[in-house]
Structure 1
């Protein structure tokens, strides 16, 4: 490797590593702010929080790495142009392509490594972080009671308090408790002015002492006639103690890993298999549902079946068959002229029955479609998520390569290094790339656009920009040549003025 190549590569690596570390810390702090509600109030050790952030950090790489490549390339080539080092290179016969050659090789290896990182590391990190986050959410429900909202405590209680106070936040004000019965019905409501949580570290029983409250319970009616009266029982108390069994919730293993089938946890081969399975399952479910709805409408009974070999008939049957054929032709002619005239074919008492049957069929079909709509939409969205996740692994690698060809020539054109203008340009371009990716991802998830295309649109849009900037930087031209633009506009006005004068003559 020549001295010039080592010099440019070392400058780029310095900017790349420093930018990556700074941006990663910024995104990690953003993640802390995003998950603060899940960690607060659960007495979670800092070591567990740090472990979660360590597992969650690889999920930030798809956002941090493209911005890092863009920023580092603008800073590196901007500094070289600002210090007239590019001018010295060009005077020595070294072109922009030649100066970019060591970085092109590095970015190529980086893009390949990014793909393997997205294919192997990110799914494993998502697997770890998702299960750890899920287990944290179940820890210490006695301390997870949030003021002003209902919190699930134990298996059968949902509690809301206005305020917590005391040394360990064990004193409660204005307590409302909904208790589920054996059938899973919310028939019992308990309200009290004050409450106190009493528990010990070695006990799985949470003792809740309520003071000065009321007890309400819906009762089952003794007969069908009294069901609309909604009978209930009410009792007042000065002190009432509830015991909550927390055995299943306190025995939470933070290292337990149960969930392993979300699309973010799969690599390319697993995604291919999952996509094929989901496609076959969706095809079968949609087909069965369509046939079920079609049969419910009764439309299948209206079809006339044709036989390839007609059976021999008698002469008396021929006349009857011709008469039936004439009736069918008359019905068809009425249908072709006016669909409403079909009802008039039948007797009056049958017309009302047919209309009622048709209305009931339409209502039932509509109800069936509305009831199934959410499930079918969920299946389509899950299928699109898998395809989108598959193509995003490839598009991320190409995005790093293409954004380098956006940042490097742009830095050579603006001739500014450091963290001033390059940072502004890099953030502006990255936000454009990022928001386009978010919009296309949302459209791809609901099927508005093909998910395979939605994963590539943001990268494809940056491709012509990179080609344009590279050509402008190679020709040593600005991004926009204001002089040529003004001259072109002046020439257009001169042409229009000359043409107008000729028409007046």
Structure 2
């Protein structure tokens, strides 16, 4: 059963966090709209699409920055408790500091579970809508999504390569497909151009040649133009970098397993996204402990000093999160270490601050 103290703090914990989200998300939408309004008007975007875009942006924005909002909200209301000497009253009544932390941990658990489900199911759908709208209407040119030098293993035996693929036209140049049996290549397809046909899900090959490797002599087939089918999908020629962000957790696990088998060059980026689905919700506990330890002490400068300290710590946390995530995406740095390192560092900081706050 929750005591009066638990209910009192838990109500403030969740209420202040929700209020901060309601205050900052409209500000974020307003700033974003002011930056993009010219592009939206220039492209004559339908109003319904704009509305759905900003709904997606709201979820995307909330999921991205919820640790900072949570951190600041805990500092805000705990500083008010300390300023009103309520914290001293709680502890003087015989409540231990760890007992005082219990409602905060209950609140962090609620936020953690909510953040996990939002990041696993709501945010991927919102991310897809957000990114699709962004590329369709707000990018200067659709060539940003075009792919160059795509090399993919599509199954155990087949490898494909295309030097350039135009997403809008669904066509590419310098296409090859190599088929292996064990370590031996048995045939190779090549075409000057490849185009995907939506009507019947076939591919048109221009200036096509096929070399079948024989024991003594090779057999060469050629044609100016042929229509054929392949075992790979159009998405295999257009590996969108943000695709992992648009998949829920079960889909993402299957996707990463398949991409590892295909030797995807984006695998670290996908691993970072998956690990963040777990590390970001856990940060709710760490940031809550740090916020309580920093703000439960009554300071001469009052709430302003606590907020200044909190904002500084929050910015450092986000910096660590971004810099290590980028390192993992752009190098061979372990995605697991990159995503969990900020939590480990700030977890140690939380323990240190908690021990000092107890004194």
Q: TM-score, normalised by structure 2?
A: 0.66
Cα pair 1:20 1:64 within 8 Å, conserved: no
Moved over 6 A (4+): 416-419
Q: Which has the larger radius of gyration?
A: 1
Partner of 1:392: 276
Partner of 1:265: 246
CA positional deviation for 1:277: 1.4
| 1:29-428 matches, cutoff 5 A | 29-36=30-37, 38-136=39-137, 262-282=243-263, 379-380=264-265, 382-415=266-299, 420-428=304-312
Distance in 1, Cα, partners of 2:125 & 2:274: 15
Cα pair 1:77 1:411 within 8 Å, conserved: yes
Distance in 1, Cα, partners of 2:124 & 2:357: 39
After superposition, the Cα gap between the structure-2 partners of 1:6 and 1:268, relative to the gap in structure 1 and judged at 3 Å, is same
**What root-mean-square deviation, in Å, do the aligned CA atoms of Structure 1 and Structure 2 show?**
2.9
After superposition, the Cα gap between the structure-2 partners of 1:46 and 1:13, relative to the gap in structure 1 and judged at 3 Å, is same
CA positional deviation for 1:464: 0.7
Distance in 2, Cα, partners of 1:406 & 1:384: 30
Partner of 2:342: 458
Partner of 1:24: 25
CA positional deviation for 1:134: 4.3
1:472 aligns with 2:342: no
Segments of structure 1 that go 5 or more residues without pairing to the other structure are 139-145, 153-258, 283-378, 476-505
Cα pair 1:77 1:412 within 8 Å, conserved: yes
CA positional deviation for 1:429: 1.1
**SS at 1:413's partner residue?**
coil
**SS at 1:456's partner residue?**
helix
Distance in 2, Cα, partners of 1:121 & 1:94: 39
- Superposed CA offset, 1:13-46 (max 9, x none): 3322221222222332343345445324123344
| Residues paired across the two proteins, number | 263
1:439 aligns with 2:299: no
Cα pair 2:36 2:138 within 8 Å, conserved: no
CA positional deviation for 1:462: 0.9
Greater strand proportion: 2
Partner of 1:449: 333
CA positional deviation for 1:267: 1.8
**SS at 1:44's partner residue?**
coil
